[in-house]
Each structure stands twice: as structure tokens, then as C-alpha cells.
Structure 1
């Protein structure tokens, strides 16, 4: 299981979220500095939510070694 953290993502239409996968030390797998945690609430509406491609590729690559 992996932990994830979202950061705010500015879009043309407004605010969105970009989700990153974290390693055991709390660093993003893509190497991006994660300074702040995006606030999310159950009733929050975001224009867009995406997953960091680099983080997702790192998880997929690591998972292929554990099969």
C-alpha cells in the first residue's frame, strides 16, 4: 500500500489537485518537493484531479519486480 498526498494545481478553470505517491520518508517518488498539504474536504469541488505520471510510473515499475 502507498500513501498519497495532493498538492493544489492551478488550471484555467480554477483550482485542481495533483496527487503524488510518497515513499516511507514522506517524499514524493517523482522527487518533487512537497512543502504543503492540499486541504481537501468531503464537500470540496475541484475542477480537476490528476495523478502525477512520474509517481505512477515509479509505482508500476516497482510493482513489476514483486510479481
Structure 2
């Protein structure tokens, strides 16, 4: 890893450490959604993050596939 990448990573980690508990929870939720998504869904997530008017990550996002219905 290049020194500039290490510096960027350290900056990100320090920023994470300074978040409030609810903000850390929201960040980790968004990161998990990204990590466990398909490549196509990852592209959609990244595009949404790039939008300045994107909803906050702690708000529920509409999904392209509806959740499975609970058995009755």
C-alpha cells in the first residue's frame, strides 16, 4: 500500500473514531449493506452516496427486491 493510501486510511479511521455512537451504527450499517451486496447493487449504492441530496444512511432505503413475506 502506498504512503498516500495509508495516510488516507488513517484519516478515515480517525474520522470514524470521532463519530457519535448513533453515527457509528449508521456507518457500519451502510458499510455492511455495501459489503454484502451484489456488484450491481454496490454500483447503485456508490452512485447514491455520490449524490449530495442522498438520504442519510440511517434512514431505511427502498430496496429493489421486496423482503420475503413472513409466514402466517
In which range does the TM-score fall when normalised by the shorter chain?
under 0.3
Q: TM-score, normalised by structure 1?
A: 0.25
Q: Which has the larger radius of gyration?
A: 2
User: Given the two structures, how large is their TM-score scaled by the length of structure 2?
Assistant: 0.24
Relative contact order, CA 8 A, sep 6+: which one is greater? 1
